[in-house]
Amino acid sequence: MISRYLTKQFYINLLIIITIFIIDRISKVYVIYLDKFNQGYELFSSNFLNISLIWNKGIAFGFFSFEQGYLYKLITLIIAIVVCIVFIMILRNNGFRKYSLLLIFGGSLGNLYDRILYAGVPDFIDFHIGELHWFIFNIADIFITLGVIFMILLEFFDNNKKTYE
């Protein structure tokens, strides 16, 4: 019965998720190592990009940051539930929508893993123009954002197609 799910598509989907997770883990472990080696100093700095480690204990982009406690554990539980819902959505979709959800799922797993392991998510990519800084983020956030952008575009194009039919 389980062999019916172990198709070529299953292995491709699994490979996408594992690849995203591994790329995210390698980047975070490397930055954490460099941060310890450099004793917390900025790892890289240029006119538009800084690489420096911060620990995000909030939700997305540091919103609702707080110290550990019951609220942090509750938020982590809610995030785990959302990750499970995204997994169910992956099983129920196909095509480009499924690949968009796989990007979201792979990145979400990386950040959820960090929340559980470190009690915070290591963010380190800081784009800026002069003193105007964007939110500091990590590789998992890039994949999540790309997946969400693709989902928005799919909705936009699907709605336009239905309007003209």
Vertex 61, ends 34 and 94: CA angle to 5°? 100
Of these residues, 24, 35, 126, 141, which one is catalytic?
A: 141
Enter the DSSP assignment of 111.
H
Contact present, 147 and 104 (Cβ < 8 Å)? yes
Of these residues, 24, 35, 114, 123, which one is catalytic?
A: 123
Could you confirm whether 141 is annotated as catalytic?
yes
Residue in 61, 119, 120, 109 with CA at minimum distance from that of residue 83: 109
Tokens of 23: 């790329």
Dihedral pair phi/psi, residue 130, rounded to 5°: 60, -125
Question: Please, what's the largest Cα pairwise distance for the chain?
Answer: 61
Could you confirm whether 123 is annotated as catalytic?
yes
Contact present, 91 and 103 (Cβ < 8 Å)? no
Contact present, 90 and 102 (Cβ < 8 Å)? yes
Q: Which sequence positions are flagged as catalytic?
A: 123, 141
